Amino acid sequence: MKKSEIGKKGSLLKKRKWFGVNMTFYFSLIIVLEILLSIGIASVLTYAFDEWFNLFDYLQPPVCIFIIGTVVAGGVTIGFNRFFLVPIEKLNGGMDKVTKGDFKFRLEKDKVVVREFRNMYDNFNLMVAELSSMETVQSDFIANVSHEFKTPINAIEGYSMLLQGSGEISDEQRLYIEKILFNTKRLSNLVGNILLLAKLDNQSIQKQSTAFRLDEQVRHAIMLQELKWTEKDIDLDVELDEVTYCGTEDFLLHVWGNLLGNAVKFSPRGGKITVRLQGVGEEIVFTISDEGPGIPEDAKTRIFNKFYQGDGAHKEKGNGLGLALAKRIVDINKGAIGVENLPERGCQFTVILKNS
């Protein structure tokens, strides 16, 4: 280990030690001052009230001091809480926002009295700024690399389709070409999803909100998946209320398509998929349920993470970005998405949007 690193670690340990000493001193001082101030102010007020209102004619001096002291102690405690506990609560709230991915949040230190708290706020803001910078660099890198992938992938797919249409290839060669096309389409979908995620993360989507018939969009998503659910002989039970919604129309189509595609993928042949769209008060509720194997309990909290795929048997049919995209789009529209297993079999996804 280098001497500079040892020096840095030693300096950090000293700062931590002095921070602990200072905070212990501050809180000890708070307790002592609170007791002294409460007793002193209560005594002064008690005798002042006695002089003005003859308080001792009704209550004994110790009782008066106790009552007034309790009130004063409450006021002093509220004052100290404002200076010492409120900054800690704000710091805790800030850390909660950062853990949820909000790297634009900053703590204001103008009204913070204690120097150690101001230093903590400075360090917190510096940390969040560094995290924000790293997130931007990572997102830009992924978006740029994914964009560069599209051209060669499209070229491979195009030439493979030309070879597939040729009559001079053997059955074995045709099989290889089909596999090449299948995997290039998977890569193309993956790159498209990554670019869409980058667009959602780095662009102000709210300006693109438009009013449209949500039930018609869901019907359109179902028709786009017609080939898939007819191939598996799946029965669709669809009931859609007439609902007009103001949101990101193009992006929301990805949500319905992904949820329906997953339901078809995990449903058994000859199974049933139930789709409902209802306007409930100020909310719009969309549900889709299938008769598949359901979702393991330990996977429920991770299925909306990027690249997570809980079912190994279907990994060759997806890239683990569909539900992450769906959640991001729903979040942008200030809605919520969740999943639960049904009592008998299968699972149900629920999307709730604000009916504004």
pLDDT in tens, 240-276: 999 999 888 878 888 999 899 999 988 999 999 999 9
Q: Is the pLDDT of residue 325 over 70?
A: yes
> Within 10 Å of residue 68's Cβ, how many Cβ atoms?
20
- Pick the range with the lowest mean pLDDT from 13-27, 113-127, 133-147: 13-27
Question: Has this prediction a pTM greater than 0.75?
Answer: no
Q: So what's the pLDDT on residue 7?
A: 44
- For residue 182, being part of any structural domain is answered with no
The CATH number linked to 275 is 3.30.565.10
DSSP assignment, residue 268? P
- For residue 32, being part of any structural domain is answered with yes
Mean pLDDT of the chain, nearest integer: 75
Nearest Cα neighbor of 286 from 206, 214, 200 is 214
230 and 350 inside one domain: yes
Q: What angle do CA 180, 181, 183 make, to 5 degrees?
A: 65
- For residue 201, being part of any structural domain is answered with no
217 and 339 inside one domain: yes
Amino acid identity for residue 271 in this structure = G
- Pick the range with the lowest mean pLDDT from 88-102, 163-177, 279-293, 312-326: 312-326
91 and 212 inside one domain: no
Taking the alpha carbons of 256, 259, 262, 266 in that order, is the dihedral positive or negative? negative
- For residue 94, being part of any structural domain is answered with yes
- For residue 187, being part of any structural domain is answered with no
Do the bridges between strand 244-247 and strand 210-213 make them parallel or antiparallel, or are there none, so unpaired?
Answer: antiparallel
Domain end among 52, 74, 102: 102
> Within 10 Å of residue 263's Cβ, how many Cβ atoms?
28
Residue 323 Cα distances to 171, 193, 300, angstroms: 37, 11, 12
Q: So what's the pLDDT on residue 249?
A: 82
Q: Which residue pairs, CB below 8 angstroms and at least 24 apart, start in 26-30?
A: 26/84, 26/114, 26/116, 27/84, 30/80, 30/84
230 and 343 inside one domain: yes
More confident call, 191 vs 121: 121
Q: Is the pLDDT of residue 36 over 70?
A: no
Q: Which domain holds residue 31?
A: 3-102
- Decide: 285 and 350 in contact? Cβ < 8 Å: yes
- For residue 123, being part of any structural domain is answered with no
- For residue 180, being part of any structural domain is answered with no
216 and 84 inside one domain: no
Q: So what's the pLDDT on residue 25?
A: 65
Do the bridges between strand 235-240 and strand 272-280 make them parallel or antiparallel, or are there none, so unpaired?
Answer: parallel
